[in-house]
Chain A
Amino acid sequence: MTPVNETLGQYSELFMLLAALTYTVSFIAFAADLVRARKVTTAPAEPAQEPELAAAGTMGTVQWTHGSGAGKANDHKDAVVDDSMGYKALRRPAARIGVAVGILGLVVHAAGVVTRGMAAHRVPWGNMYEFTTTGAMLVMAVFLTALLFRDLRFLGTFITGLVLVMLMAGAIAFPTPVAQLIPALQSYWLIIHVSVAVLSAAIFTLTFALSVLQLAKTRQEKRGKPRTAGLLRLVPSPVSLEQLAYRLNAIGFILWTFTLMAGAIWAEAAWGRYWGWDTKEVWTFVIWVVYAGYLHARATRGWDGTRAAWLSIIGYLCVIFNFAVVNVYFPGLHSYSGL
């Protein structure tokens, strides 16, 4: 076996540190954006641009008009965000800086993760330190990718803040030198199972944030405060938050189902049984059932809305518990946290 490359390992740690510093700048920028949005007045009352729906019109001999059904366009007069998360002419320079610096941070972060893997000649997810740093990278990557489809910059503070916490936790709570894998982890299932697990956890991170904001926004509306006030001003309506959370949770659930299956196949190869209720397996199962419950709740009268949001939050708390508490404190076959 090729010995580990320690110089490269040190470079990796340096990259992680630089990434953390960059994310700090991004975090501050996103926070400034939220604070600033409380005061800024909306641009002149131009009608909201609905990019997709502007397709109708007269062409040649055919005249076409299209309308989305009643009750959809419930945009508040001074709301800065409509229900499809399109922002009206609102200049948000701080948010732009946040995104740009965040991308830079992600590049440096990725360099840190890749050099770690190269130093050890394997995928960089073999112990708690590596789960945390790679996981943080995926959280950031999923967030920035989601920005291509929806303007979720209102989540920037939460995401960059969480990524910073993860990087710090990796460096302080789980420092682990670059090392080769113990035999139990030497399997291509490590590549498949763990990468998909970490990716779905990253997606659940996003939906967790959306669900929390959904609850906050619902409360704000119930209290009768105008939904345009306060730090939540940039946050869209509970309904659109819930819908986006649902779509992401559905993707996350598919990936988690795959994680569960791949884990079972690996367990079969390693221990001769595909399911044995090991603590880690128990929690993976619990998470799966909670999100299955969430998907059901969305289709059950009386359980959508706030209750479904709670299930999404509970599911994510289980993910965190599974990762941070079960890996470290619970004895079991999966005891390779490297601590």
Chain B
Amino acid sequence: MTTTKPPSGKTSLEDVALPRLGPAGMLRWAWRQLTSMKTALQLLLLLAVAAVPGSLFPQRPANPAVVTQYIQDNPGTGPWLDRFQLFDVYSSVWFSAIYLLLFISLIGCVIPRAVQHWKALRSQPPRTPRRLSRLPEYGTMTVAAGTALTPDRAIEDAARILRQRGYRVQLGDTGTDLPSVAAERGYLKEAGNLVFHTAMIGVLVSIAVGGMFGYRGQKLIIEGEGFTNAEPGYDSFFPGTSFNPGALVPFSLTLNNFDVTFDRNPASYGNPIDFTADMTVQDSPSDAPRQETLRVNEPIGFGGTNVYLIGNGYAPEITVRDGEGNIALQGPVASLPTDATYNSTIVIKAPDARPDQLGFVGFFLPTAMVDENGVAFGSDPDPYNPQLNLNSYTGDLGLDDGNPVSVYQLDTTELTQLNGRDLPDGGIVLGAYQTYELPDGKGSITFEGLKRYVALDIVYDPGKAGALVFTTLALLGLIITLTTARRRVWIRAGQHEDGRTMIEYGLLARGEDHSLAKEAIRIGSALTAHWNKANDQNRQATP
């Protein structure tokens, strides 16, 4: 096979072992090593290996809670894995080092090749070598004496036929005894390769642009509620490193209704088959409201910022009355689904309750059934028999000391438990519209109704379009480079003493080329057919 080496990598180790390189020489040597084809290959393989651990260990960016849990569960190995950044593989020092080196190598490789290709594009095909018979494809033709075909005519004909076949041609030695034509085609192969590699750099830059100037935020919206795009409104907000708050488009949206359809076919009972969120949206406060439907795979866009439907769940409507008889909490409280049947965990906090704050922790089951041990379990994702199973607590919920606390968690260590399965009063079991009076006159809790909520991701990624453009370019470049062949053809003609015209041709492929022989046959046939026809016509013309 033919071996291609990038021009910058002309040097192999043996060539470099020169005495006394000096600092500049050392640098040049290092640069040549880095931009050599072998290094590129090794870095590519290293990159593949380095990407694997990220699929074996939980990753912080995707799932910080799982990482924390993992480290707790593996106190021996966890901290070590963490030290080697195995929970942040794709932003780790070692992973970054590999891909940065690869891309430096890529740039060092592409630039000289682009320069060389630019020159090649403007220069003529190389002169005809003396011995064509050494080339991988070689053939000869003899045209009988007495035809009007002179060597110069033959070469002109050959040049025309080659040009028709897409070759760039250069006549040589015209007017001599042995005129020849040199031809080359397939310049696009190298061009495609360069486009592909350059586009890779473009993809990386686009990703970096998105990471610097974009943002991503999460927001949970219960039916009937709304959201206006501003940083404080988010449940969580992750700005890019150079994020400018001015990039927040001032849209707003309200969730009117959220519809869920579950599969009722016995074999696949309970799988979700449709999620549809009816929204009223405004591009900005001054724009007219319009209706939009948000579905999975179909985000709503606001000039570059997209809203995605990522999750959903139930929000039971709760009323908590405190020991003094006042309403301490009223409204829907989002529960977090833990499985496909939407059995959910729920935390209810009533910090306004007096004399003591009240808190509840437990489960929400959309369709509660009771098993033989008297334990409630959920059996269907639709709310056929919604039920809350709660423990209650009283004391200081710890919301006032300024530390941020997740609304989905309640630290019960400092609290006094009022209800629970192990306590004399038992746990709280609330069906729809039921009220439960807390022990010791601490208040009551009522299950008033049920709403659904959606979990939205709101994303602005200014690098997205660039990434699409560059990957498309890469794909096109790849297709071109892998499907075109770069070939050279030389044809030489001469006259035998006895008057016959002799023609010889040779072909050479640059890079992988499996159909060079076929091309040689096609060119040979075209020439033969052409001269046969020309001779026939000549004969008829001159009887």
Binding site for B on A (CB under 8 A): 1, 3-4, 6, 52-53, 55-56, 59-69, 72, 177-184, 186-187, 189, 242-243, 246-247, 250-251, 253-254, 257-258, 261, 264-266, 268-279, 282-283, 285-286, 289-290, 292-293, 296-304, 311, 326, 330
Is B138 a contact partner of A69 (Cβ separation < 8 A)? yes
Is B140 a contact partner of A186 (Cβ separation < 8 A)? no
Asked, given contacts A61-B144, A273-B459, whether A4 binds B265 with beta carbons under 8 Å apart, the answer is yes
Closest to A180 in B: B273
Specify which chain B residues have a CB less than 8 angstroms from the CB of A283 in the assembled complex: 55
Asked, given contacts A269-B297, A299-B4, A326-B55, whether A64 binds B514 with beta carbons under 8 Å apart, the answer is no
Q: Name A272's contact: one of B12, B47, B137, B459 (CB within 8 Å).
A: B459
Nearest CB on B from A9, distance (A): 9
Question: Which one of B27-35, B118-126, B381-389, B466-474 is at the interface?
Answer: B466-474
Nearest CB on A from B465, distance (A): 11
Q: Is B298 at the interface (CB under 8 A from chain A)? A: yes
Is B265 a contact partner of A65 (Cβ separation < 8 A)? no
Q: Name B55's contact: one of A60, A66, A282 (CB within 8 Å).
A: A282
Contact digits for B39-62, partner A, Cβ 8 Å, 1 yes 0 no:
011001101100110110001011
Give A169 to B177 CA distance when docked, in angstroms. Answer: 72
Q: Is B100 at the interface (CB under 8 A from chain A)? A: no
Specify which chain A residues have a CB less than 8 angstroms from the CB of B458 in the assembled complex: 272
Nearest CB on B from A110, distance (A): 24
Is A274 a contact partner of B464 (Cβ separation < 8 A)? yes
Q: Name A187's contact: one of B136, B140, B297 (CB within 8 Å).
A: B297
Q: Which of A186, A300, A301 has the most CB of B within 10 A?
A: A300
Closest to A4 in B: B265
Specify which chain B residues have a CB less than 8 angstroms from the CB of A56 in the assembled complex: 139, 521, 524
Specify which chain B residues have a CB less than 8 angstroms from the CB of A178 in the assembled complex: 267
Is A299 a contact partner of B143 (Cβ separation < 8 A)? no
User: What 7 pairs across the A-B complex have the smallest Cβ distances?
Assistant: A177-B267, A179-B268, A66-B139, A69-B136, A60-B532, A272-B459, A183-B296
Q: Is B511 at the interface (CB under 8 A from chain A)? A: yes
B126-179 interface (Cβ within 8 A of A) = 134-144, 147
Is A250 a contact partner of B51 (Cβ separation < 8 A)? no
Specify which chain B residues have a CB less than 8 angstroms from the CB of A55 in the assembled complex: 521, 524-525
Is A61 a contact partner of B38 (Cβ separation < 8 A)? no
Is A183 a contact partner of B272 (Cβ separation < 8 A)? yes
Q: Is B295 at the interface (CB under 8 A from chain A)? A: yes
Is A257 a contact partner of B474 (Cβ separation < 8 A)? yes
Specify which chain B residues have a CB less than 8 angstroms from the CB of A251 in the assembled complex: 482
Q: Name B296's contact: one of A66, A69, A270, A296 (CB within 8 Å).
A: A270
Q: Is B512 at the interface (CB under 8 A from chain A)? A: yes
Is B482 a contact partner of A179 (Cβ separation < 8 A)? no
Q: Is B1 at the interface (CB under 8 A from chain A)? A: yes
Q: Is B478 at the interface (CB under 8 A from chain A)? A: yes
Specify which chain B residues have a CB less than 8 angstroms from the CB of A242 in the assembled complex: 1
Specify which chain B residues have a CB less than 8 angstroms from the CB of A179 in the assembled complex: 263, 265, 267-268, 271
Is A273 a contact partner of B140 (Cβ separation < 8 A)? no
Is A183 a contact partner of B297 (Cβ separation < 8 A)? yes
Is A302 a contact partner of B38 (Cβ separation < 8 A)? yes
Specify which chain A residues have a CB less than 8 angstroms from the CB of B261 in the assembled complex: 1
Is A290 a contact partner of B479 (Cβ separation < 8 A)? no
Nearest CB on B from A270, distance (A): 5
Beyond the given A243-B1, A296-B37, could you list 5 further A-B residue pairs with CB under 8 A, ordered by the A residue number?
A61-B147, A66-B139, A180-B263, A289-B44, A298-B1
Q: Which of B41, B51, B137, B274 has the most CB of A within 10 A?
A: B41
Closest to A265 in B: B468
Specify which chain A residues have a CB less than 8 angstroms from the CB of B512 in the assembled complex: 246, 298
Is A293 a contact partner of B457 (Cβ separation < 8 A)? no
Q: Is B308 at the interface (CB under 8 A from chain A)? A: yes
Nearest CB on A from B74, distance (A): 17
Asked, given contacts A62-B531, A275-B207, whether A293 binds B268 with beta carbons under 8 Å apart, the answer is no
Give A258 to B471 CA distance when docked, in angstroms. Answer: 9
Asked, given contacts A55-B521, A254-B475, A289-B51, whether A183 binds B295 with beta carbons under 8 Å apart, the answer is yes
Is B141 a contact partner of A64 (Cβ separation < 8 A)? yes
Q: Name A274's contact: one of B135, B457, B467, B478 (CB within 8 Å).
A: B467
Is A269 a contact partner of B461 (Cβ separation < 8 A)? no
